[in-house]
Structure 1
Amino acid sequence: MTDNTTPLWQHRLSDFRDTVAREPMPGCGATAVVSADLGLALVLKGLNLSQQHDASAPRKALIDEGESLKQRLAPLAAEDVAAFEAFMEAVGRDESDAGRRAAIHAAAETAVEVPLKTAQLCDAALALAQQAGEHIESQFVSDAVAGARLIHAALHGVLLNVAANAGQLGSDDARDRALHARDGFAQRGDALLAAIADTAST
């Protein structure tokens, strides 16, 4: 079981896995972030090992972009945990509390914002994986495609959180904007993965 005082990325992998299996948190959002980060690492593996064999400036630029994305993705796991806990705290307030509804709406905004931020970075990671295809040597393509599939699965995982929490936003317009963004990320993610798989099979 993980210790809540220890940053999530410092836990043993087996402890993280077992806590996911038994505790409310980390949930699907945080687990999706970890999966996306590992998926991106597989794409970077293909780029880095290819770069060791035959250095090029375009490949180095992709590696730098991927490393930046990886560092920006990682903190969102803890942000997801914090957002969920704040939302549950707001929902758990006494129904006679005059500020309960406003607190729920405010917490829901963060509970939608964090997965949308994650989806945006997953989208960028998939776009990177597509661009990386021609720069990865054939012996590492399977790693990169597996990584892209992990990122794609993570994208759809966090979008489930958007759908689950959008109904608690403060207005119909806010809900509709969140769901529209969700649909856009889902469609683009599907198209990017299809392009990656198609390129890898040729």
Structure 2
Amino acid sequence: MLIQMKINEFLEELGSNSPAPGGGSISALAGALGGALTAMVCRLTVGSSKYAEVQSEVEAILVEVDQLSNVLARCVDADTEAFNKVMAAYKLPKVAEDEKLARSEAIQQAMVYATNLPLDVASCCLKVLSMAVRVLAIGNTNAASDAAVAGLMAHAGLHGALYNVKINLSSIKEQGYQNDIQAKMALIIKEDERLHNELVAVAGKVIG
């Protein structure tokens, strides 16, 4: 599994001429890193008398962001598996007419899966970004830069995931599905823009 590799081994695999892991896995990893950094800031806040007033809120954030980090970490491998399913579908036989139809259907199913997965990653990254912004505002100020970086990682992971949604969506024939995904992406992008602007503003106040 990719997520269990040592960092140097993962980077070597990433930099090879193999098309996977690629941008989708890295987007999930960026989100997971953002979540883990957010969790770190939470743990540096909880238990300090200086932040007693926000302790219950930070504890609740910690529980959720730990769960999100785990989900995103699993998506690092899941994205590569989704890519492999698409490639396997394209390699199906296409001589006889029934083979062509079966291959076309398999490709569409694989592309839908490969579109839904990064959309889920983007949604998770959006939640991480939201929590990073909140922790930056109320958490341990000594770790403010870490919270800001956490938000930026989630922001990057979100947009990376959406690039993967878009490139896969273009191969899907069902117009209704395309419209639904486009609408979901628009909502994610709108909320990401708001949160990213807030992140920058809060970082400016807390960090300078």
Could you state the TM-score of these two structures normalised by the residue count of structure 1?
0.91
Gaps of 5+ in 2: none
What is the aligned partner in structure 2 of residue 59 from structure 1? 58
Q: Tell me if structure 2 keeps the 8 A contact 1:19–1:26.
A: yes
1:26 to 2:21 alignment: yes
* Inter-partner Cα distance in structure 2 for 1:169 and 1:127: 31
What's the % identity of the aligned pairs?
24
Choose the corresponding residue for 1:9, options 3, 13, 21.
Answer: 3
3-state SS of 2:46 partner: helix
1:91 to 2:86 alignment: no
In the TM superposition, residue 164 of structure 1 has moved relative to its aligned partner by 0.5
User: What does 1:132-151 align with in structure 2 at a 5 Å threshold?
Assistant: 132-151=135-154
Superposed CA RMSD = 1.5
Choose the corresponding residue for 2:121, options 109, 118, 122.
Answer: 118
Measured against aligned partners, the alpha-carbon deviations of 1:17-45 in whole angstroms (never above 9, x if no partner) come to 11111121111111111111111111222
Q: Partner letter of residue 87 of structure 2?
A: M
* Inter-partner Cα distance in structure 1 for 2:38 and 2:67: 13
Q: Partner letter of residue 58 of structure 2?
A: R
Q: Tell me if structure 2 keeps the 8 A contact 1:90–1:100.
A: yes
* Inter-partner Cα distance in structure 1 for 2:179 and 2:171: 12
* Inter-partner Cα distance in structure 2 for 1:174 and 1:57: 41
1:200 to 2:203 alignment: yes
Q: Partner letter of residue 116 of structure 1?
A: L
Could you state the TM-score of these two structures normalised by the residue count of structure 2?
0.88
What is the aligned partner in structure 2 of residue 48 from structure 1? 43
Q: Partner letter of residue 70 of structure 1?
A: S
* Inter-partner Cα distance in structure 1 for 2:129 and 2:196: 7
3-state SS of 1:24 partner: coil
Choose the corresponding residue for 1:36, options 14, 31, 35.
Answer: 31
What is the aligned partner in structure 1 of residue 70 from structure 2? 71
